[in-house]
Amino acid sequence: MGEESVKLIGAWFSPFSFRVKCALEMKKIEYDYIDEDMFKMERPIISKHNPSYDKENKKVPVFVHGGNSVLESMVIVEYIEEMWPDRYPLLPKDVYEKSIARFWIKFIEDKGIVFFMFFITSGEANKKAQKDMLELLTTIETQSGIKDDNCKFFGGNKINAVDLAFSPFAYWLGAMEKAEGVALLEAHKFPKLHAWTEALKQDPVIQKNLPDFEELVGFFENIKKYGYLQTPPST
Ligand SMILES: N[C@@H](CCC(=O)N[C@@H](CS)C(=O)NCC(=O)O)C(=O)O
C-alpha cells in the first residue's frame, strides 16, 4: 500500500493543507499537489475525490492514497505517520508520550473556532475574538510544556505532528494580526511560544511551504471586507 500513488488537494492559503505538505516532505514522500480554486462553490477536484463517508465535503485538504481519500488535516498526518512509520517520525513511539502529543493535537483542533472568529469578525466581535485568542495563547504558553525542557519544538529538537498542529500560530496568526492592525503573540508576553515560532520558521521544509506573507495578509483583509472566500468585486 505504501507504494501507491499519493495526491494532495489543497489551497495556497490553507494552514491545514500546509500541515499535510510538511508531513509528506519531512518523510520525503513523493506526491502530486493539486491546488483547488476555493473561491468557487463547485470545487470539481474535491468533488471528484470526496470519500464515501463524507460526500458533502467541500474542504481542503483531501489526501488521496491509492484511490482512497482521507479527510481532516491531523487525521491525514496520523495516516501518513502510520503508513510510513520508518521514515522521519512524527509522533513519539512511547505510548504515554504519544498520548500527550495527541492530547495537544486534539486541544488545538478543538480551539480552531477561536482562530476562525478572529479572522472573520470585525469591530466589537473582533475585540471579543482577540480576548479569546490571548487566553488561548496564555494557556499554550503556560500549560503546554513548550520550551520547559529547553528543546526547540513541542516534540523535542525535531519538528513533529504537534508542531504541525500548532503551525497556524507561527505564520497565519501574524498575517491575521497585520490585517486587523493588532499585535497579540508578542515576544515579551509569550516568550516561549514566540521563540518556538521563530525556530519553526527556520526549518527548510517549513520555509519552502509557507505562502507569501503579503498575499496572505491581502487574503485576510479581503475576508474582512467581503466575507469568507468571497471574490472581491472587480474594479
Ligand atoms: N478541520 C479541517 C479544516 C479544513 C478547512 O476548514 N479548510 C478550509 C481551508 S483552510 C476550507 O476548505 N474551507 C472551505 C469552506 O469552508 O467552504 C482540517 O483540519 O482539515
Give the Å distance between the CA of 117 and the centre of ligand 1. 14
- 95-226 placed in CATH 3.40.640.10: no
30: left (phi over 0), alpha (psi -120 to 50) or beta: beta
* Three-class DSSP category at 105: helix
In the predicted model, what is the mean pLDDT of residues 22-33?
98
Judge if the beta carbon of residue 130 lies within 6 A of ligand 1.
no
- The single residue listed with the C-alpha cell 519531512 is 26
The closest residue, in CA terms, to atom 10 on ligand 1 is 14
Q: What percent of the chain has pLDDT over 70?
A: 99
The class that CATH gives domain 6-83 is alpha beta
Q: How confident is the model at residue 227 (pLDDT cuts 50, 70, 90)?
A: confident
pLDDT(2) > 90: no
Alpha-carbon span 84 to 101, nearest angstrom: 18
CATH 3.40.30.10 spans which residues of the chain?
A: 6-83
| pTM (2 d.p.) | 0.96
Taking each helix axis from N to C terminus, what angle separates 123-143 and 191-200, rounded to the nearest 10 degrees?
90
What's the confidence (pLDDT) of residue 1?
A: 65
- The single residue listed with the C-alpha cell 473556532 is 113
Give the Å distance between the CA of 176 and the centre of ligand 1. 17
**DSSP conformational letter for 69:** E
Q: Are 152 and 199 in contact (CB under 8 A)?
A: yes
Closest to 18 in 3D by CA, of 185, 140, 180, 172:
172
Work out the angle at residue 21's Cα, subtended by the Cα atoms of residues 157 and 228, and round it to the nearest 5 degrees: 115
Q: Are 25 and 208 in contact (CB under 8 A)?
A: yes
What's the confidence (pLDDT) of residue 83?
A: 97
Judge if the beta carbon of residue 58 lies within 6 A of ligand 1.
yes
